[in-house]
Amino acid sequence: MNHKEIHYGILSTASIVPRFVKGMRLTENGRICAVASRSEDKAKALAESLDIPGYYGDYRRILEDDTIDAVYIPALNSAHYPMAKDALLAGKHTLVEKPFVLQESQALELARIAEEKELFLTETVKTPHLPVFTRVKEIIGSGAYGRIRFMDFRQSYTEGPYISGWNKERKYGGGVLFGNEAYFFTMAEFLAGKAVSCTGTLSFGRYDAEDQCSVDLLLPDDVIARMAVSTDVLFDNGLTIYLTDGRIVIPDFWKASKAMFFKNGRLMETVAFPCESEFVYELNHYNECILNGISFSPVTPVENTARYIGFCEQILKQY
């Protein structure tokens, strides 16, 4: 790559693609050049609807395109590893949608290839790049609300694409554990330090992939973080951080734009950072990493991602 604009190809026509494209177009130096699908008609239709100049009926065609510097992989979960490996071996910087892969060993192998080929590799996790969380961490660090003791992450949905089709099949990497782990593990450690231990419980309902999960992390200074996810009932979704002198409530923590701070049951302050696309912050960061020639994000290194996948594997082994 000998230019300062990064040319991206997208290896899927998944429902998240329009949001990724919108975010990338708000960055300073990223450009979407092509999209691929197993169906050329689907790729063409999406390219035309999003004003993307190129399209292919086979993702390998993008990997052979010398004008493409980097790829984004939002395909079904079980396809992430082989597609990411093909992309790295083809010399492309690689952004992989959550979950990164389904085995810790796969993550470590991809990291080794990226390092050897001097390519950038990451799982796309937007939360630690959001301005709200930067400010929340600063306020926690000030001690104004005391010390963190417990973090409660809640996410639920009873309709939509995440509870249908391949998302209900284990062989494709479906289920709520892998579908939601990245934000939880990343943000628990972002706010409270490296996990000491992890335990979890799953329920399976009518399918071979879990429909509910509860995961507990023990963090430094005896802080506990819990993730609860369900596709069977609806929670009051969001993140609540309980501190010795107050609590912080962050609605829709996975795309947070505001946080509310309470003491003695009273709202003390609200911080808000509305934006056109929550994707833009992480994508600006990834572009900067690529242009600076580093293989891993210092915010979401693949070493951490691999460890989180390992936690999930440990929980699944119980079942």
3-state secondary structure of 195: coil
Where along the chain do its domains lie? 6-126+279-300, 127-277
Q: Read off the pLDDT of residues 98-111 as tens digits, 9 standing for 90 and up.
A: 999 999 999 999 99
Q: Which of 244, 104, 252 is nearest to 187 (CA)?
A: 252
- The top-level CATH class assigned to 6-126+279-300 is alpha beta
| 207-233 per-position pLDDT tens digit | 889 999 999 999 999 999 999 999 999
Phi then psi for residue 191, to 5 deg, are: -90, -25
CA 59 to chain centre: 22
Q: Note the Cα 298 to chain centre separation in Å.
A: 15
- Mean pLDDT in each 10-residue stretch from start to end of the chain (319 residues)? 85 96 97 96 97 96 97 97 98 98 98 98 98 98 98 93 82 94 98 98 90 97 98 95 98 96 97 95 98 97 98 95
Cβ within 8 Å of residue 186, ≥6 positions away: 125, 127, 128, 300, 304, 308
Q: Do 6-126+279-300 and 127-277 have matching folds?
A: no
Amino acid, single-letter form, for residue 186: T
Reported as a single tens digit per residue, the pLDDT across 5-46 is: 999 999 999 999 999 999 999 999 999 999 999 999 999 999
Q: pTM for the full model?
A: 0.95
CATH 3.30.360.10 fits 127-277, yes or no: yes
Instruction: Measure the CA–CA gap between 300 and 125, rounded to whole angstroms.
Output: 7
